[in-house]
Structure 1
Amino acid sequence: MFDTFRNAWKIQDLRKKILYTVMVIVVFRLGCAIPVPFIRPEALQAWVGETGNLLGYIDMLTGGAFARCTLFALSVTPYINASIIIQLLTVSIPALEQLAKEGEEGRKKLTRITRYVGAGIGFALAIAYYFLLRGQGALLYTEGASAWFSAVVIVLTFTAGSLLIQWLGEQIDVKGIGNGISLLIFAGIISRWSSVFTSAKNYLDLAAEGETKYYFFLPLIVVLVLAVIVFIVILNAAERRIPVQYAKRVVGRKMYGGQSTHIPIKVNMSGVMPIIFASSLISIPGTIGSFFPTLYDSTVHPVWAAILGAFQYSGWAYAVIYFLLIIGFNYFYVAIQYNPVEIANNLRNNNGTVPGYRPGKPTSDFITRVLGKITLVGALFLGIVAVMPIVLGAVTGMNIALGGTSLLIVVGVALDTSRSLESYMLMRHHKGFLE
């Protein structure tokens, strides 16, 4: 990977793209430090930072901008939500499905629709964020004309920030090295990793004061993190190849077809989406408990206290439910991405067959079985990576600041960016650069 980046720097056009991408990321980080007026962010930071809270998870994706109430507090969240919604609606609404099949022009229309939906979601989230700030006493003005003016300024600023981030991501796609939104998420997560070194230093100080167990736990966690990174790299590249044989056919005096190829099915075809879905869903009880602290009192609300206690981040029930949700969402996401019947029909229409299986339903059933097995492996992989920090925290008694979701996103984006640079260099026919 490092050789790829070094060799890419030698190409002038690619060097300009890299510098442009770096400039956009710098602008993004500056926006994450510009405070929105009429807000006291210190009133929100401690509450958002609670582990297992949905708002804390959003703060992780925004690189800490959410808790600091800065210009880019909403980050790419509206755009990601809009993309997921449009992707799901494409499966269920025929008009959107038709646009997806119209090639480049249809994709442009879907991108425009996604942009408008993202703007609407950003405006709605900005209003919700304003009322959250108001409820936590983080606003400077809450009465009279000043309150109305400050509300308009705050909501419009957060909305404009979300649209600006969306535009920055698109500029990286057009003028940079691609993967714009993913790179912005990458930059936000990396900016938070300084807390990892702070936590390590604190545990080393505890070990020096007599808690010698941390001399064993810290190296163990470092080794496990490195093993997880290697595991992520291997699983991201792993795929099952279904062989396909195309029949020969004679057209005039020429013979066409007869070649052998394959259908690649990636083990981790859903990426981090199942983890994002599962994290958002399982964090809802903790977020509700943050709004109503009295629900944790077992003497007043015994049922709610038991439910919220089961959804504590450090609890085993949380880990088990989280793991099962990841598996369920992984199957769901793969089901809307892959249609075995459509794949089998396309093969039959192009005189292609899977060796050993008749065209039509037998081929569709075979692809369904293969998808089920591959999806299970990918789901278990995602579940283990996501749950491992929780298990390690429960066993060692340490607060593992480096989450599995962060590692998946960072490593995945780094690999995708490296592949994009390799493709660009191969397209320019620079032989030997990738050797």
Structure 2
Amino acid sequence: MASAAEQLAANFNFGSLGKATELKKRIWFTLGALIVYRLGTYIPLPGIDPTILHDIFESQSGGVLGMFDMFSGGALRRMTIFALNIMPYISASIIMQLLTAVSPQMEAMKKEGEAGRKKINQYTRYGTVLLAAVQGYGIAVGLEGMQSSAGGSAVMDPGLFFRATTVITLVGGTMFLMWLGEQITQRGVGNGISLIIFSGIVANIPRSLASTFELGRTGALPTILILGLMVMAVVVIAGIVFMERAQRRILIQYPKRQHGNKMFGGESSHLPLKINTSGVIPPIFASSLLLMPLTLTGFVGGNSPEWLQTVSALLGRGQPLFLVLYVTLIVFFAFFYTAVVFNPQETADNLKKYGGFVPGIRPGKNTSDYLDYVLTRLTVIGAAYLSVVCILPEILISQWAVPFYFGGTSLLIAVTVTMDTVSQIQSHLLAHQYEGLIKKSKLRGRRR
């Protein structure tokens, strides 16, 4: 069966894609949903002066606002209805996963199956509304205090009405994106939330490349440095693909069993453990947590209290404290999310139930301890890889003011989401080709 699957996978072409009607519908739905999202990033909030806002962002583009704008696909720079993007939903998901790990009630709810999952998703939505409302109000207040270098205000008519409309619009935009992401996951191809973030990052690539080449043309960046960054980007992409595909295969042996006169079993298989089990989740979670408190600090700017300005300076892009916190959060979430998605005890119990065992390891607790030991070592390597890839652009930005993210969270998300989406497309094509083979075999059977 494995060789047949590999042979079918090798024969994928545009002809097979054209015949897969269901897959084409899913792809068109995904593209349509992402187009709707990109159109929404150009619908501005009411009461905003775009000229003054552009001037303010140009002066702060290299800071936290620029990092947040990268995830929003330029929606924050233009202050549109999708300015908060999907970040409140991600933050709410972090909180719910932490509560599931520490609260017995939430853990019991998770074990209820589909009903428990629906309850947790509902609580996550409530948390998204609350976080979006708080962040939306902070943005509204911050916009009222923002002024350009010429002294103009970013808000035409500040006041309670402006704050209310801003909060309602931003919360509505975030909830719409959350719903759109769920629709992409169910009716499209790939993970909807990841694709929304991916499309925002990819949309910024042309502008970032243009800015980089313009700096090279004016002499602000040496040509040799730009070429080096291009080579570095290719190397980082190759490294990300290698690490995301790398896995440790643990040999699993099944004993022979005799039923009547026939002998069954006696085969061996592998339990694949990825080096980076957590995927792209740790950098996204770490970025969203760092952005939550720093977003308001960046908006308040010079009108903020002295202690807030001190915090903003210490947590600036490329600052030692920012890098330390960023790496610490990435490592924490790498271990945390790996523990959430892979349970060594449960895996060992399932192997014991079906008679499988790791050669040289006793079934049960010893197998669980062995799997936990191997997974911990793999997670250390995965967390180190994520940390190196993610702090690379922070150093480039702080040292050479590079406007394009050659590596880091943005490139990691783009490559990982692309690999995942292509893998799902291949799975749909493989299933379609199997359906065709089954139909042909049935027709041949009827002819006979």
- Cα distance in 1 for partners of 2:213, 2:55 equals 21
Between stretches 244-253 and 171-180, larger displacement belongs to 244-253
- Cα distance in 2 for partners of 1:106, 1:250 equals 41
- Cα distance in 1 for partners of 2:275, 2:329 equals 18
Displacement after TM superposition at 1:72 (Å): 1.2
- Cα distance in 1 for partners of 2:93, 2:56 equals 29
3-state DSSP class of the match of 1:261?
Answer: strand
The equivalences for 1:58-137 within 5 A come to: 58-136=68-146, 137=153
Conserved? CA contact 1:51–1:313, under 8 Å: no
Equivalent residue, structure 2, for 1:355? 359
- Cα distance in 1 for partners of 2:134, 2:398 equals 37
The equivalences for 1:351-390 within 5 A come to: 351-390=355-394
- Cα distance in 2 for partners of 1:109, 1:4 equals 40
Equivalent residue, structure 2, for 1:57? 67
- Alpha-carbon RMSD across the aligned residues, in angstroms, is 3.4
Equivalent residue, structure 2, for 1:28? 37
Structure 2 vs 1, CA of residues 125 and 254 (structure 1 numbering), >3 Å: closer, same or farther? farther
Equivalent residue, structure 2, for 1:260? 268
TM-score (normalizing by structure 1): 0.83
TM-score (normalizing by structure 2): 0.81
Conserved? CA contact 1:8–1:421, under 8 Å: no
Displacement after TM superposition at 1:18 (Å): 1.5
Among 343, 356, 360, the residue aligned to 2:347: 343
Confirm whether residue 16 of structure 1 aligns to residue 25 of structure 2: yes
Equivalent residue, structure 2, for 1:214? 222
Q: Give, as a single letter, the amino acid of the residue that structure 2 aligns with 1:123.
A: A
Structure 2 vs 1, CA of residues 347 and 52 (structure 1 numbering), >3 Å: closer, same or farther? farther
Q: Deviations over 1:67-117 (max 9, x none)?
A: 322111121112222222222222233444344334445434433343333
Between stretches 244-253 and 222-231, larger displacement belongs to 244-253
Equivalent residue, structure 1, for 2:5? none
Conserved? CA contact 2:251–2:358, under 8 Å: yes
- Cα distance in 2 for partners of 1:129, 1:289 equals 10
3-state DSSP class of the match of 1:263?
Answer: strand
3-state DSSP class of the match of 1:243?
Answer: strand
Q: How many residues end up aligned between the 2 structures?
A: 418
- Cα distance in 2 for partners of 1:335, 1:425 equals 32
Conserved? CA contact 2:138–2:296, under 8 Å: no
Conserved? CA contact 2:72–2:197, under 8 Å: yes
- Cα distance in 1 for partners of 2:312, 2:85 equals 29
Q: Give, as a single letter, the amino acid of the residue that structure 2 aligns with 1:149.
A: F
- Cα distance in 1 for partners of 2:81, 2:303 equals 33
Q: Give, as a single letter, the amino acid of the residue that structure 1 aligns with 2:377.
A: K
Structure 2 runs not aligned, ≥5 long: 1-8, 147-152, 437-448
3-state DSSP class of the match of 1:244?
Answer: strand
Structure 1 runs not aligned, ≥5 long: none
Displacement after TM superposition at 1:180 (Å): 1.4
Between stretches 174-183 and 322-331, larger displacement belongs to 322-331
Structure 2 vs 1, CA of residues 5 and 413 (structure 1 numbering), >3 Å: closer, same or farther? farther
Conserved? CA contact 1:244–1:262, under 8 Å: yes
Between stretches 357-366 and 37-46, larger displacement belongs to 37-46
Confirm whether residue 161 of structure 1 aligns to residue 173 of structure 2: yes
Equivalent residue, structure 2, for 1:412? 416
Displacement after TM superposition at 1:8 (Å): 2.8
Structure 2 vs 1, CA of residues 245 and 410 (structure 1 numbering), >3 Å: closer, same or farther? same
